[in-house]
């Protein structure tokens, strides 16, 4: 019997698990509470409510970036990590089918021929041949459900492996989107650097003319040259990050470096922009959508089934066996009823002394249940934390972008005025350098904020359980490769 928590709201999947556990009649245990599950998200004030049946399996379409969608589709078709997770599911299903065989009788057959040569002094050589055939069958009657419990455990393990596949799928889609966002951010930084270098080249030319005309000393010329070269020195670093990010993206999509050049060449220069407002469901709906939580639930069920199987080892086992054999001097006589012999036997066995093996196995499976329960509780807390953290990040980065947009406009006007006044000889070159550095820093901060905001929405979609479907596993890795 299972002790039911005070409120099923504390564990969205608990009611399902409790019913299944009760049917297994495993040892009593209690799902300890991790705190009352909130009825709403704390930081979702700016987000509308959503239908609990909303589809998040293709959340990346909301970014309206064809290149991003193409990259995620390619990664889901070609990623070796996803192929490995799919192979793990096939292995678990095969193990489940092998375990199911223990519920049925086992039948084996044999066919033989035996030739005997007889020769003695004064006696003619004589050869005799005997033909034989036989069937043997055995069956362990699952009186106390040990084999059925092992089959349940194998089935839940297969379900857990499938949910692991979906978790890998969701994580892969989010990782591709995040990496692509970083790539686009590097492109944006490169564009900002190039514009800044162009502006500094113009300022350097003015400083050169002023020095040649005797309106400025060589110090201004040297300062202008140093500032220009410093700006140019930043380009290789950004270019390196751009190229390495492209290589990472290629690896996530299951191809060698350079394999995505044609796709990335058609991409725009902007950072993917998420939808202004993402509709959210209540926390309970979100937890039901997350494959990692479903996986943790199946692990509890598997551990409970293994516990029942371990306890069933204490009871007797009933084995039935039978044999049917035929022995004849020629193949034609093998169908003669007189050559047929049959026997059947039944045996009941019960463990008497096992040096504590059964008791130790029961204690081990008890501990496995406790571990799976603790992991389940931890997964719930992680899920709640991830959603709240992502909501906070979405909100704060949006606020930050608003301030930075205004700051960049003001800094660009200040830079223009500083260069105009320097050209007119009203200010020294240090003010120009300061205004250029301020503008460059603010533009870089704005790119970082936009990147963080997009990444926050990606993490939010992932935390809500998006990026996977039940049908996705039907496509095997070999089919995926043939589609390329």
Is residue 41 predicted with pLDDT exceeding 70? Answer: yes
Cross-strand partners of 25: none
Q: What percentage of the chain exceeds 70 in pLDDT?
A: 78
Report d(CA 118, CA 123) in Å as an integer: 9
The end-to-end CA distance of the chain, in Å, is: 52
Q: What is the pLDDT of residues 455-469, one digit of tens each?
A: 999 999 999 888 776
Average pLDDT of the chain to the nearest whole number: 81
Distance CA 365, CA 206 (A): 80
Q: What is the DSSP string of 46-62?
A: TS-B--TT---TTGGGG
Q: Give this prediction's pTM.
A: 0.81
* Tens digit of each residue's pLDDT (9 = 90 or more) over 330-369: 566 556 665 566 666 666 677 777 788 889 999 999 999 9
- Superfamily of domain 15-25+39-83+170-313+380-482 in the CATH hierarchy: Outer membrane efflux proteins (OEP) (1.20.1600.10)
* pLDDT tens digits for range 149-192: 999 999 999 999 999 999 999 999 999 999 999 999 999 999 99
Distances (CA, A) of 126 to 113, 116, 122, 329: 17, 8, 12, 14
């Amino acid at each position: 019997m299972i002790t039911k928590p005070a409120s099923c709201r504390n564990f969205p999947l608990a009611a399902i698990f409790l019913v299944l556990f009760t049917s297994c009649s495993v040892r009593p245990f209690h799902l300890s509470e991790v705190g009352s599950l909130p009825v709403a998200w704390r930081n979702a004030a700016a987000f509308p409510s959503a239908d609990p049946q909303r589809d998040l399996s293709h959340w990346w379409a909301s970014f309206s970036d064809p290149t991003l969608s193409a990259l995620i589709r390619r990664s889901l078709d070609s990623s070796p990590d996803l192929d490995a997770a799919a192979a793990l599911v096939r292995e678990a299903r095969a193990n489940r089918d092998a375990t199911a065989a223990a519920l049925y009788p086992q039948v084996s057959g044999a066919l033989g021929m035996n030739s005997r040569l007889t020769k003695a002094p004064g006696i003619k050589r004589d050869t005799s041949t005997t033909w034989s055939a036989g069937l043997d069958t055995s069956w362990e009657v699952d009186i106390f459900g040990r084999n059925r419990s092992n089959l349940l455990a194998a089935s839940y393990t297969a379900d857990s492996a499938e949910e692991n596949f979906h978790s890998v799928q969701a994580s892969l889609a989010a990782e591709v989107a995040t990496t692509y966002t970083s790539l686009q951010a590097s492109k944006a930084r490169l564009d900002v650097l190039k514009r800044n270098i162009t502006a500094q080249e113009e300022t350097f030319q003015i400083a050169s003319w002023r020095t040649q005309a005797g309106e400025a000393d060589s110090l201004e010329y040297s300062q202008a040259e140093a500032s220009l070269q410093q700006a140019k020195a930043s380009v290789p670093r950004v270019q390196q990050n751009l190229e390495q990010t492209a290589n990472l993206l290629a690896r996530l999509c299951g191809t060698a470096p350079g394999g995505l050049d044609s796709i990335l060449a058609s991409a725009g220069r902007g950072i993917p922009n998420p939808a202004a407002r993402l509709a959210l469901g209540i926390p309970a709906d979100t937890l039901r959508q997350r494959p990692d939580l479903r996986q943790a639930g199946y692990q509890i069920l598997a551990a409970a089934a293994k516990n029942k199987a371990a306890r069933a080892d204490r009871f007797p086992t009933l084995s039935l066996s039978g044999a049917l054999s035929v022995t004849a001097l020629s193949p034609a006589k093998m169908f003669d009823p007189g050559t047929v012999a049959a026997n059947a036997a039944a045996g009941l066995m019960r463990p008497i002394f096992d040096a504590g093996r059964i008791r130790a196995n029961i204690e081990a499976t008890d501990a496995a249940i406790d571990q799976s329960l603790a992991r389940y509780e931890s997964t719930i807390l992680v899920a709640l934390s991830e959603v709240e953290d992502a909501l906070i990040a979405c909100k704060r980065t949006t606020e930050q972008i608003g301030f930075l947009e205004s700051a960049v406009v003001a800094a660009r006007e200040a830079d223009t005025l500083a260069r105009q006044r320097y050209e007119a000889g009203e200010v020294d070159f240090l003010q120009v350098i300061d205004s250029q550095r301020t503008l460059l820093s603010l533009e870089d901060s704005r790119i970082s904020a936009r990147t963080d905001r997009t990444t926050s929405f990606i993490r939010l979609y992932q935390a809500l359980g998006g990026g996977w479907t039940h049908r996705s596993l039907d496509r095997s890795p070999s089919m995926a490769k043939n589609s390329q």
